[in-house]
Structure 1
């Protein structure tokens, strides 16, 4: 594998693995390890297919064209409006998840807990601190983010290594799946594979080489699939199902249960969770900041930066304050946005372009296997994921 292909693999894998994996044990724990892995693989295949559809579209409308322009060029203004609204909904939901998740961790730090500082207060402190950093600009974020991402990866490796002796096989195999939780888990599982927005930039990295990009996406998505499966193996193997019900979507409760009283393991897991939340928070908040600047035609003046920061942070801060334990619920809402953006829209674009090629007898430079039947099935899955979030 050459350097460009490896870079594309790293971008796909890096943009996929993040804070969303923290919610996986709580989202699918009641389904049992085997069923959870089946769903993980299915969602991986679905996300991989829709990503390859985006490659198909990207190769036809102009390699490297960003997602927003791609949608506008193929589906017109109606498609672009749906894309912008879905993206805003997705990013706001993710910020709520990250703020509440971080508030849960901070409020249970011994030095904080002894002063009885509430989860809501910790969430607000974290959110306002992050808002100030984002307001200071991209250079400030990049200065922090590279170090934070490396720390997250190292902490994840230490956490996985530390948990290897805590796994009880009975916790994994002796539990009957509770299918009452099946529908609610689907949006969260699909949201864990949200790499699609990096496809245009990956296309530029490999200089439009379709074959290289094709295999980079496959390899780049297999990495998070393996990490998620290992994380579920360690987490669900360390915690009986009865404890999962008591977590109520609380990140710190998950960490406390998995660590089983070990101060060292809890510290490592807390570091991993904290840096996963912070690095994901930076990426999402920057994306939302850019979206706000583009939507309202804002310039790089101080007044406009203040306005953009308020637009980005006011809604999730308010939602987090009103619902401080909404980490899992917010991830489910984010899954709806992902389903629209990363499943329904790629299917719609590919379907339209294939129809146009068929009418004009134009050969496709590249077409994902499976024909229109596969596109219809993927579209139906996207709609089902959206509906499942609100049943």
Structure 2
């Protein structure tokens, strides 16, 4: 008898491509329908872990904000420092520029270069010819002691020696087109007071007129002594300290030359002699009638060649020593040779003049 054999049918298998993988932790099945499951974001890849999604949308912006804040702090702290350094550099350059300009100005005056000094600090008024500064005893020990600057303005304190005096002045300045220019000049007005009121004097060979003030730079000046056929001019030395608010008063003298003085005394003596011959001559009222051995005084010099003088004749003892004078005028030719004399009345200084002879 045959025994039947039992054979197990082969186990059914699914193709690998159709086998469903077990759902992973935290993941939605790939077959979930967004219309059915409201937790599913149709814009999100269903294979992406939701933890990763949280990290992407919540943690990364926070990190970027922290990094951005740190960068801002670093940049914010460095920008002011750079600007401050740039401001300090610019301020130093402005101070050095004004100091250099002031030093060049002092050096120009000390070196007798009036043209350069005037180019650095313009002079208001009538500047004296440059030759006058070259002839002066120059300033010494020049220095720039302090400088104060703003954006386009500044001031500088300078010091220098004039003769035996130590001077200190503060000059203003302005900045234009990147360069400094002094707006305060050390030149000051010098007013000439001549004895006759019209004749100018010479300083360094340059005539300083008495009709107007001229501007001179600091220094010590000497008045040239000039002797001509008729007149001698001169005066004491003087100093210009450079104070723009002050002025220098220059007093000069004009004297008759020795030849003119002798001629004037001879004319006066002849006039006195003629007067004494007359009964009404006022000279008889004086106990002292003598022409003293002093030079006549110059009253006025006209450009047309007329010179007015006064001769002291004597003293009035009765009035306590009042001077007795005689006014004279001499008319000269172009070569300063006397052509004629005119005399006033004795003891009448404002009387009319009339021709007279020695």
Q: Same fold (TM over 0.5)?
A: no
Q: Of the two, which has the highest radius of gyration?
A: 2
Structure with the higher fraction of residues in strand conformation: 2
Structure with the higher fraction of residues in helix conformation: 1
